[in-house]
């Protein structure tokens, strides 16, 4: 594979929580144990949710734990800029390329229409788009275009896309049946995560993506985009999610487990020890630094199932 290039690509839409940190630590350990290059990219595409202060805090929280990066946010490097909000022109080029292939169409469906026309529901709570706007006659498109700003969808083929995840094993999805045509640009003009993440990982020559298992379902869509854009896909490692004792996935709303609260309760070494224990790298949670862990990191020890954490 050549030199390993991994990344952490957080969305600065709030303070990081334990689950984000768990993925970040694993991505970092994978890169550092292989002597590779770590990239930090801010996925701040959504102006309604992301804020500069969160990005600054996020970088500070990573450093506090002992995670560093060689290229990216605040550091620069050969593939910048490293904040997605500064890369809109590049996504526009990718979008035009797909449009030039005749694969993009405007979708005028409202949220309510989308829900009504979309079934069945996928396991991740998203809906399968039924393709209502795919075949709209031109007159109807121009009539609706005067009433609403459309979102833009990418036409998907009736094709199975398979890949082998380093942790989750063989995965497969039929894009048309399991997902449907998906949005690559929202009606407010913001490019969608799927397009931006593929473009960026491709352009930044990332060859290993470590991230939460909640994004496993996005991977077939992303592989389709890699192919269309002529980019080389990375190896994927979808790590387990951390769950609260009641079975809910930790989220940024889970204030009690955000970095602010965690930093008051634990030293960086104590917190790293807990994360490393959950990641199967230690027999019991004992204080350790990320750098020490990197000397003896093994993917084979990382569990594949979600992990219930109880911090009392
Ligand atoms: N920005 C995404 C998030 O914070 C992660 C994207 C990725 O790792 O592919 O959920």
- For residue 75, what is the domain's CATH number? 3.40.50.620
pTM exceeds 0.75 for this model: yes
Same domain assignment for residues 94 and 81: no
Say how many Å lie between the CA of residue 147 and the centre of ligand 1.
33
Q: What's residue 250's pLDDT?
A: 78
- Ligand 1 atom nearest to CA at 23: 8
- Say what the pLDDT of residue 256 is: 66
Q: How far is the CA of 11 from the centre of ligand 1 (A)?
A: 6
Total domains present in the chain: 2
Final residue before a domain boundary, out of 143, 165, 194: 194
Domain that holds residue 48: 5-87+197-308
- Contacts by 60-65 with C-beta closer than 8 Å and gap 24+? 61/15, 61/16, 61/21, 61/259, 61/263, 62/8, 62/16, 62/24, 64/259, 64/263, 64/268, 65/21, 65/24, 65/25, 65/268, 65/271, 65/272, 65/290
Cα of 151 from ligand 1 centre, angstroms: 21
Task: Tell me the CA–centroid distance for residue 138 and ligand 1, in Å.
Answer: 36
In this structure, the residues whose C-beta lies within 6 A of any atom of ligand 1 are 9-11, 43, 197, 211, 215
Q: Ligand 1 pocket check: which of 6, 11, 190, 201 to mutate, most ligand atoms within 8 Å of Cβ?
A: 11
The answer to whether residues 188 and 210 belong to one domain is no
Residue 111 has what pLDDT? 78
131 CA to centre of ligand 1 in angstroms: 27
Last residue of a domain, one of 194, 220, 246: 194
From the CA of 197, give the closest atom in ligand 1: 9
CB hemisphere CA count around 127 (13 angstroms): 13
pLDDT of residue 247: 84
**pLDDT tens, residue order, the chain (312 aa):** 689 999 999 999 999 999 999 999 999 999 999 999 999 999 999 999 999 999 999 999 999 999 999 999 999 999 999 999 999 999 999 999 999 999 999 999 987 777 666 655 565 667 789 888 999 999 999 999 999 999 999 999 999 999 999 999 999 999 999 999 999 999 999 999 999 999 999 999 999 999 999 999 999 999 999 999 999 999 999 999 999 888 888 776 666 688 999 999 999 999 999 999 999 999 999 999 999 999 999 999 999 999 999 886
Please tell me whether residues 190 and 241 are part of one structural domain: no
């Amino acid at each position: 594979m050549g030199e390993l290039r991994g990344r952490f690509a957080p969305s600065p839409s709030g303070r990081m929580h334990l689950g984000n940190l768990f993925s970040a630590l694993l991505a970092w350990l994978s890169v550092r144990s292989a002597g590779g290059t770590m990239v930090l990219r801010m996925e701040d595409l959504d102006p309604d949710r992301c804020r500069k202060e969160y990005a600054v805090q996020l970088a500070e929280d990573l450093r506090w734990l002992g995670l560093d990066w060689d290229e990216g946010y605040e550091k620069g490097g050969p593939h910048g800029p490293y904040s997605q909000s500064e890369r809109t022109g590049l996504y526009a080029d990718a979008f035009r390329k797909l449009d030039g292939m005749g694969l993009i169409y405007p979708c005028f469906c409202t949220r309510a229409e989308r829900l009504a026309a979309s079934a069945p529901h996928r396991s991740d709570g998203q809906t399968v788009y039924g393709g209502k706007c795919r075949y709209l006659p031109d007159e109807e498109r121009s009539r609706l275009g005067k009433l609403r700003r459309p979102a833009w969808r990418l036409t998907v083929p009736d094709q199975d896309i398979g890949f082998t995840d380093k942790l989750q094993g063989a995965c497969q999805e039929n894009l048309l049946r399991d997902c449907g045509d998906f949005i690559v640009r929202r009606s407010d003009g913001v490019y969608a995560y799927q397009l931006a993440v593929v473009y960026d990982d491709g352009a930044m020559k990332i060859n290993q993506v470590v991230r939460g298992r909640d994004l496993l379902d996005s991977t077939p869509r992303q592989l389709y985009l890699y192919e269309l854009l002529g980019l080389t896909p990375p190896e994927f490692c979808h790590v387990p999610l951390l769950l609260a004792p009641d079975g809910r996935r930790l989220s940024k709303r889970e204030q009690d487990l955000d970095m602010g609260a965690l930093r008051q309760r634990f030293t960086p070494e104590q917190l790293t020890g807990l994360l490393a224990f959950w990641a199967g790298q230690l027999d019991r949670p004992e204080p350790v630094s990320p750098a020490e862990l990197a000397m003896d990191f093994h993917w084979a020890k990382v569990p594949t199932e979600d992990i219930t954490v109880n911090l009392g």
